Structure 1
Amino acid sequence: MSQLILTGVGDANIRIERNADLALGDGDVLVTLEAAPVNPADFLLANGWYGVQPQIPSVLGSEGVGRVASVGPNVDAALAGKRVVILPTYEQGTWADQAVVPARNLVVVPDDADARQLAMLAINPATAYLLLSRYVDLKPGDWIGQNLGNSAVGQAVVALAKRAGVKTLSIVRREDAAQQVRDLGGDLVLVDGEDLGERIAGALDGAQLKLVLDGAADATAGALATALEFGGTVVAYSSATGAAAQLPLGDLIYRELNLRGFWLINWIRTAPREEIQRVYGELADLVAKGVLSAKVEATYQLEDYQAAFDHARKPGRAGKVLFTF
């Protein structure tokens, strides 16, 4: 058995450990991993900059997919052999060929879906699903706006919105990224730059946004907010800049915009088990049908973790980097 261990705060302190002894607790299962992605949040956690603090030493990796190899004494034996997605609770690590996981942190998924796509299911597609469903009652024909339109969350937002008949206006940073989002079915895609607010208004041609999704925390959120309807909602779900959400004061006050924050882990911690299973079940079915997918740029073996990390940090990367087992 091999796994990546954080031996001290800072991602320079990640090491590979082999032949570790894995002991199952009463409510645990042993999962043999098929694939696990490298996410920005994994590096944030390793460096102590995330909403969850690392426990040293700690196995890293926030999400993944695999099969249940064995179960603890208080776990339903029928779970053995099932394909499962590991939820990103940070109680376990997925950068390992085998992992001990509390049974409550697993959701059974279809056998006929792509393992790499299922490995990326638990964070980005779930975030997109909840951003679109929790804050505004969207109807077919409504418009939403988002920055980071070519990100994994942004791509999932486009796919889920298109399926629901909701129209998307996405902001990206490069023209090649804009074409990528258009090819995925984005209705309007604009490249960030001068006069963005005016170009947004011109593209919408009198329509207004009902919802803005902000993952960048830069001026693009403010430009999108100018096109929100009175009392419209902005949801901040990440910060690519490391700053707080940036909204024009006049729009925030005089047009009574709502600014909300979203962190997937809070939902996993508080939602009823039935809701979690329903959401991930729906998303897994969409992956199996090919409705939801994210581009994979490269896969690596665990032994090549440093190359995988370097690739994952590469500017302009067009797809996800995964470990496969």
Structure 2
Amino acid sequence: MKAIQFEQPGKPAEILKSVEKDLPQPGAGEVRIKVGMSPINPSDIMFVQNLYGIRPQLPSGAGFEGMGTIDAVGEGVIMTTGQRVSFTSVGTWAEYAIAHHKSLIPVPDEMPDEVAAQLFVNPFTVVAMVEESGVKPTADSADGPHEWLMLTACGSAFGKMAIQLCQQRGIRTIGTVRRDDLNDELKALGLTEVINIETEDMATRVKQITNGQGVTCVLDAVGGHTATEAIKCLGKGGTMLIYGLMSMQDPTLNAGLMIFRELTIRGFWLTDWMRRVDPKIRQRVAGEVITLLSSGKIKLPVEATYGLDDIAKAVEHADAPGRWGKILVRPV
């Protein structure tokens, strides 16, 4: 079979190669999946560079999620071959992949492959983080000041989904961008206010928008200067959840702000969240994600699809500025 592999960490476009490998065999509790499609997520790119929480065991496959059909099952697995599933594993950019049966999510017939391929990483993270933010819908704060959720790099696939979810829940959002070309699209998705951090002072604009109270929570994917400025936008008792580091730079923490505004700044990693939350919460989130995507209430746009032999072009496209949709890898 054909699969993407790398021998050492580095720049993805330079080190990722399409190679021929033996067909993998599922062990106890595992299934083999004939892969239909897989997305290219920021976590995939960081993993290839050895910058992610999970370290590659070299030589390593790449890609953390995808969709396909069950092709073979290992000992102790009671599942039907041919069943269409979304799954997580290491090495989903391949014609076949091995996954633990507990990582599988059955895909409804009405859900397109392009959506099913993106079912786990971004949608689960979005729903979980909006839950963790604790931001109340506008209707619930009618008798008091409105609460706000702020999204850095809101033009990303994650940001667009978070905007749509918040719009459905009645949560007011502020999003940061570096260019204005996506502003109309973001507003159409439900973004309440947009700030161009290249031309506007973030903290000043947030103060104007929120009548001086600041935001309740920031979901940050950028780090560096953007996160440093976003901390200043938090109101009394506010929280910043950091889930990415696109700038590859750590933010600077202002101890005075943290003390006198009683701020909380912490990281968020979906893998740990899935481990620590009550199973009933996981099940509820999974149901909500599937319902939102199956119904079309939340859209997951796709910009381009590449084959395994064009993986260098695919990862370069995924890292290009100004994208409006996800880049997918299709094995065949």
Kept in 1: contact 2:135–2:148 (CA 8 A): no
CA displacement at 1:29 relative to structure 2: 0.7
Determine the structure 2 residue equivalent to 1:35: 37
CA deviation map 1:168-199 (0-9, x unaligned): 01111110122221121101111113432212
Give structure 1 stretches of 5+ with no counterpart: none
Greater shift in the superposed pair: 238-247 or 50-59: 238-247
**Matched residues, number:** 321
Contact 1:143-1:209 at 8 Å conserved across structures:
yes
Higher alpha-carbon deviation: 143-152 or 303-312: 303-312
Q: Which aligned pairs between 1:137-148 and structure 2 lie closer than 5 A?
A: 138-141=136-139, 142-148=147-153
1:113 has 2:111 as partner:
yes
Q: Which moved more, 1:227-236 or 1:22-31?
A: 227-236
TM-score (norm 2): 0.89
Residue identity matched to 1:125 = P
CA deviations over 1:126-164 (Å, ceiling 9, x no partner): 111111112425334432112111111111111111111
Is 1:3 matched with 2:3? Answer: yes
Which 5+ residue runs of structure 2 have no aligned equivalent? 140-146
**Using the alignment, how far apart are the partners of 1:83 and 1:215 within structure 2?**
32
3-state SS of 1:297 partner: strand
Question: Cα distance 1:181–1:137, how it changes in 2: closer, same or farther (>3 A)?
Answer: closer
Q: Structure 1 pair 130/278, CA: closer, same or farther in 2 (3 Å)? A: same
Counterpart residue number, 1:168? 173
Q: TM-score, normalised by structure 1?
A: 0.91
CA distance in 2, matches of 1:32, 1:281: 24
Task: Provide the rounded CA distance (Å) in 1 between the counterparts of 2:137 and 2:316.
Answer: 42
* Whole-angstrom CA distance in 2 between matches of 1:67 and 1:219: 43
The residue aligned with 2:122 is 124
Bigger mean CA offset, 194-203 vs 215-224: 215-224
Q: Tell me: CA distance 1:118–1:247, structure 2 relative to 1, closer, same or farther (3 Å).
A: farther
Could you say which residue in structure 2 is the equivalent of 1:181? 186
Write the letter of the residue equivalent to 2:190: G
**Alpha-carbon distance in 2 for matches of 1:224, 1:19:** 46
Percentage of matched positions with identical amino acids: 32
Shift in Å at residue 266 of structure 1?
A: 1.4
> Deviations for 1:80-120, whole angstroms, at most 9, x for unmatched residues?
33221113xxx531101211111122122212112112212
- Report the alpha carbon displacement of residue 121 of structure 1 after superposing the two structures with TM: 2.1
Cα distance, 1:273 vs. partner?
5.0
Q: What does residue range 14-93 of structure 1 map to in structure 2 within 5 Å?
A: 14-18=16-20, 20-77=22-79, 79-87=80-88, 91-93=89-91
Matches within 5 A, 1:299-318: 299-318=305-324
The yes-or-no answer on 1:296 pairing with 2:297 is no
Q: In 1, Cα distance between the equivalents of 2:318 and 2:260?
A: 42
Alpha-carbon RMSD: 2.1
Aligned to 1:258: 264
